[in-house]
Each structure stands twice: as C-alpha cells, then as structure tokens.
Amino acid sequence: MTHAADELALERLEQQQIDTWAHDGAAFAATFTDDADLIDVMGGHFHGRAAITETMQEGFATFMAGTRMSPPTTRTVNFITPAMAVVITSGNCIIRPGEQECRPEDLSIQTKVAVKQDGQWLFRTFQNTRINAEP
C-alpha cells in the first residue's frame, strides 16, 4: 500500500504554514486540530487552535513581522496508522527581514504528529527545537 497521496497532502499542509507565516495567525492555526498542542522554539506551550491563533497573530504583529519561514531541507514521514503520521522536518528556520537564507543558529528540527480527520490531514502536535550545532 502506498501513502503517496497522503504524503503529498502532508507536504501541502506544511506549505500552507509557510505561505501563511507572518501574515495570518488564523490561517496558520487552521493547519492544526481544534485540540492541538504547539511547543514553540522557546519552550512555550499553546493548547488548542484558538490559543495557537492568538499567539501566532500576536507574534506576526510584533517580533515576527516581516519574517519568512523557510522550507525544510530534510523531511521524513512515518505512518503509524492510515490516519496518523509522524512528520520530522529539519533545516528550516525563520528568515529575518533583509536576510536571504537561514543563519546556522536559527536552524530547527520539528516533530509533528498529523491526524486525518474527515479525509483532511491536520497537525495534532508540533514541537519546534533549535538544532544544536555542538556535539
């Protein structure tokens, strides 16, 4: 059994996050389930789509204004069940205004659990962690 269509749907879900970054907290949060958990790069924990919308919109209006989310350089998808997948991406970052590429100290790895609800993939959990360049 192939998961090609589901992998493509998950890639599109990640692209939706990239496309809505720094513009629309609600559209970014729409990639999550209503009861999702997001752990940001600083260790903040936000539970539920409403909390994710609020914190992202606040960030987009202040310290994340004008930033861009880069696509990951590596991506793995492991299907736990036909309706649950673990997605691990690495090498992505938030690019600051005036910069063209990721700074090494800004690179992160993200672990996401995605669930398929009513035929649509959404993220249930999202953990974002900086990559430690030192062994």
Residue type for position 110: Q
CATH number for domain 4-127, candidates 3.40.920.10, 3.10.450.50, 2.40.40.20, 3.30.2010.10: 3.10.450.50
Q: Would you write out the chain's pLDDT as a tens digit for each of its 135 residues?
A: 468 999 999 999 999 999 999 999 999 999 999 999 999 999 999 999 999 999 999 999 999 999 999 999 999 999 999 999 999 999 999 999 999 999 999 999 999 999 999 999 999 999 999 997 665
Alpha-helical (H) ranges within the chain are 4-20, 25-29, 49-61
pTM for this structure?
0.93
Query: How far apart (Å, rounded) are the C-alpha atoms in residues 102 and 39?
Result: 21
Contact by Cβ (8 Å): 27, 118 = no
